[in-house]
């Protein structure tokens, strides 16, 4: 008997339960058994590790989000970004690195969303005040075809849904149609900040069909990992050139 697609879709929850019974789902970070709290991605130990990571960021620079327990920043006399400030929920440690790699390289788009939901309660609401919209750092269309999704978009969507039902209480909308990536820069993992900035020249552009919607707006730009700030700077420059009033940056991890 050949089942129709609607019937297969209805059977999926049952099949997942059977699969979980015979092959219990494991933590995406450490492969330990999951707890009984209903979290399908993280075991209790890794949830605690994320919470501890965040709690140890109690002395961060309010401008660049550098954890000053680990390293002093130079923002007071050497800030050279066009965006206002950065906020990151976590330091880039082994747990966050594992999550980021699963999201970017192993097809786990739902993990990006879930991490956003888990992270939302840790974010200061004042960071979102007076913001008009949330814009994820876009992927080039060729990378989007290969990966199938934009991890920054999924993380941002999870954050907004974790902040009182889609960000409605804050008046925020997720916009994926305002900023586009017109240049495929490839991976920048091994480049320093200057090389990254050079590589990103002309990489982003405001959507010419939507540019009027950016005029005078306060934007929160979302990325997964903030390292040198080169990608965020390239995006912010284009958003400000298109007429945005301000840009702030929200990142999952601060490297």
CATH of the domain at 214: 3.40.50.2020
The tokens for 32 are 């330990």
Q: Does residue 167 carry a pLDDT above 70?
A: no
65 in a domain, yes or no? yes
Q: Count up the domains in the chain and report the number.
A: 1
Tell me, yes or no, whether 82 lies in a domain: yes
CA distances in angstroms from 157 to 22, 111, 152, 182, 197, listed in the order given: 32, 12, 9, 23, 27
Using CA atoms, how far apart are residues 85 and 82, in angstroms rounded to an integer? 9
**What would the two tokens of residue 4 be?**
């129709």
**E strand residue ranges, the chain:** 86-91, 133-136, 173-174, 179-181, 204-206, 218-226, 246-254
Q: What is the pLDDT of residues 78-111, one digit of tens each?
A: 888 999 999 999 999 999 999 999 999 888 999 9
Task: Give CA 189 to chain center in angstroms.
Answer: 17
**Structural domain range at position 76:** 61-254
242 lies in some domain? yes
Flag whether 153 is in a domain.
Answer: yes
Instruction: Flag whether 20 is in a domain.
Output: no
pLDDT tens-digit profile of 181-198?
Answer: 998 776 666 566 667 667
Specify if 32 maps to a domain: no
Residue 131 in any domain: the answer is yes
Contact 153, 174 (CB under 8 A): yes
* Matching residue, tokens 């965006």: 83
Helix spans in 33-150 (H): 44-55, 75-78, 94-105, 109-119, 141-147
Judge whether 192 lies within some domain: yes
The pLDDT of residue 35: 81
pLDDT tier, 75 (very low <50, low <70, confident <90, very high otherwise)? confident
Range from 139-143, 182-186, 238-242 that averages highest in pLDDT: 238-242
């Amino acid at each position: 008997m050949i089942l129709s697609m609607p019937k297969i879709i209805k059977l999926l929850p049952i099949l997942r339960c059977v699969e979980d019974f015979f092959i219990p789902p494991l933590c995406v970070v450490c492969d330990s058994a999951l707890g009984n709290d209903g979290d399908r991605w993280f075991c209790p130990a890794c949830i605690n590790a994320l919470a501890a990571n965040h709690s140890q960021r109690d002395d961060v620079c309010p401008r660049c989000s550098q954890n000053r327990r680990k390293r002093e920043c130079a923002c007071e006399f050497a800030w050279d970004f066009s965006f206002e400030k950065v906020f990151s929920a976590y330091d880039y440690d082994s747990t966050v690195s594992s999550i980021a790699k699963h999201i970017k390289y192993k097809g786990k788009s739902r993990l990006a969303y879930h991490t956003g939901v888990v992270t939302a309660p840790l974010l200061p609401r004042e960071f979102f005040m007076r913001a008009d919209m949330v814009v994820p750092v876009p992927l080039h269309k060729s990378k989007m075809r290969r990966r199938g999704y934009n991890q920054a978009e999924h993380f941002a969507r999870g954050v907004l849904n974790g902040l009182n039902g889609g960000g409605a209480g804050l008046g925020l909308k997720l916009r994926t149609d305002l900023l586009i990536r017109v240049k495929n820069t490839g991976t920048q993992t091994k480049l320093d900040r200057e090389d990254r900035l050079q590589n990103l020249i002309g990489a982003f552009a405001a959507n010419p069909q939507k540019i009027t919607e950016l005029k005078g707006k306060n934007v929160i730009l979302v990325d997964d990992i903030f390292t040198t700030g080169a990608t965020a700077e390239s995006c912010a420059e284009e958003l400000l050139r298109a007429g945005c009033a301000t840009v702030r940056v929200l990142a999952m991890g601060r490297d």
